[in-house]
Every structure is written in C-alpha cells, then in structure tokens.
Amino acid sequence: MATFFGEVLSVYSRAVEEDDDDLDDENEDERIHREIEEKREVHIAWCPEVAQSLEGSGSNKLQCSDLIIAVGTNAAGFLSAYVLNTESWDAVGHVSLWNERSRGSSRQSIAPLPGEPACLFYRHRDNPAVLVCQSTCYIAEDQLFQWTEKVFGCLQKRGLSVMVLSDSPVAEYKTPDYLYGSAVPFLRSLKSSASKSQALCPALEQPNILTGLPAAVLSHCQVHQIPAVLYQCYTDVISPDSITMETYKPALLCLSKLVKLEPCLSADVLRKFAKVTEAQSNLYT
C-alpha cells in the first residue's frame, strides 16, 4: 500500500491486533480473579495437639459428638459468660478469612487478638468430643460454603449433633401481630429433618428466613443428614446485654449432661461480656 507521497507501508490487520488485546485482557481478568479467590479463601488453623490427632487418624477427622456454634455478639457472649467461663475448656483452633468487613481475621498462623472479631473453636477437657465455636466476624456470602465444607470436613459425621445459636434484629422478624416491648427478646427454632429432639421454643414462622452462617450450617446439615437445631434470638439491642444473653439459657438445658452452665453470674462477670449501651447517636449528647 502506498501513500500519496510514494511511501510504501506494510499492510496490517486491525482485527488481529484487537484479538490479541482481547486475549491479553482475558488473561489479566483470569489472573485478577484467581488472586481474589486466593485472598478470600477460608483457612482453619488447629492447635498442635488437634493437628497431630487429625494426622494420626486414618480419615483425618475429629471425633465430635456435639458441636455448638454461636453466631453474633450476644450468642458468643452467652457462651463466654455461661459456658466458657469455667476452666473446663481449651482454645483449640480458629478460622482465618479476609473480606471487606473482616480484614483483621486474615492471619492464618496467628490467633486473633482478644476482643477482635473472630471465629474460635474450644474443646471440653473432660469430654473432648464436645466442641464450641464462637463466630463474631463477618463471613461473606461467597465464603459461607467454604466455611461449612472445611469445618465439617474436619469432623466425623457419624453420631454428630449440631446446635446453632444466632442473633438477629427484631426488625427482620415478620409477623401479622403487633410485638409488645415486653416480648422482646424472644427465641425461635428451626431444625433439620434428621433431628429428632424437641425444640424448646416455637418454630420459626413463615415467611421468615435465615441468612448468613446459620443458614449455611443448617443447609449443610440438612443435605448431609446431620441432626441440627437452630435457636435464633430476635432482640432490639445492638450491643451485647445480659437480658439477651439469658434468652439463650433454655436452649442449652438439653445439653446439661455435657455442658456445665453457670447457674447465676455476678454483675462483675456479666459486665466483662455485656457492654453498657450508650446513647452515642443522641442529638443532645
């Protein structure tokens, strides 16, 4: 091809260059997507004793008869005050993950700092088959399946029973009747088809639904035929308080043979786990 001035130019196809650019963009997108997946991967770190027992077992699974999962600050605070406050529990592991709202729990080899949102596992000293999990960190929707697969992948399903305690704002509770202030907080239950135990509170009415980690755990138990029961506490308090924590107390009575509850706690003990609600959003303070 020649220009008006007689210069000869090489013929090139713009379509070929565009295909090369598209291929480069696709490779770049795949690389970015792969990096995001690796960054958002869920990891479980066990203490040396548990890790050794996992490696020593032929199936790489822990013997577990009862798994108690607390999701939310009040549910986790209840376990801290009424269950884990005794000297019969040892911290045996934690879940590390990263997302936009849980940046501090991404350290794989380092346990979360005290007071930091985290997901911790505890094991009973006298009965090592009883595990407690406290989850106060945010778990994104794309990480819920990973969490359930990796946590339950470490546990033997035969003879396993699961109990979930979960917090939920009362504003999300749907009912045709008016809720009086004296009725809050209150419990609702939901269980898998494999669970034969009788719930200690009314069942969750339609059209109410579960979301987040409690829904993922119950769905996993339903699919794998694991007996599971969930107790969801609807409360009008954002920060942990003793009244909301005590709402969970009847839910653990069925495990009284396995888990020792503190019958009555002093105000000093509760003060460590329950934050005093301050009117920070008050216009006049």
Set out the domains of the chain in order of their start, with CATH numbers.
Answer: 49-277 (3.40.50.10900)
Q: Are strands 228-235 and 186-191 parallel, antiparallel or unpaired?
A: antiparallel
The predicted structure's pLDDT at residue 182: 62
Of 223 and 180, the one with more pLDDT: 223
Report the amino acid identity of residue 15. A
Question: Taking the chain, what is the end-to-end CA distance rounded to the nearest angstrom?
Answer: 79
Q: What is the pLDDT of residues 144-168, one digit of tens each?
A: 999 999 999 999 999 999 999 999 9
Q: Do 42 and 150 contact (CB within 8 A), yes or no?
A: yes
Per-residue pLDDT for 232 more than 90?
A: yes
pLDDT-wise least confident of 160-164, 181-185, 190-194: 181-185
What pLDDT band is residue 88 in, cutting at 50, 70 and 90? confident
Question: d(Cα 122, Cα 84) in Å, to the nearest integer?
Answer: 8
Look at residues 160, 165, 159, 133 and name the one whose alpha carbon lies nearest to residue 147. 133
Q: Which residues have C-beta within 8 Å of that of residue 248, sequence separation ≥ 6?
A: 74, 75, 78, 165, 187, 231, 233
- pTM to 2 decimal places: 0.82
What's the whole-number average pLDDT of the chain?
81
Per-residue pLDDT for 283 more than 50?
A: no
Identify each DSSP E strand in 50-154 by its residue range.
66-71, 89-96, 119-124, 130-135
Count the neighbouring beta carbons within 10 Å of the beta carbon of residue 274: 22
Q: Do 45 and 96 contact (CB within 8 A), yes or no?
A: yes
The predicted structure's pLDDT at residue 281: 42
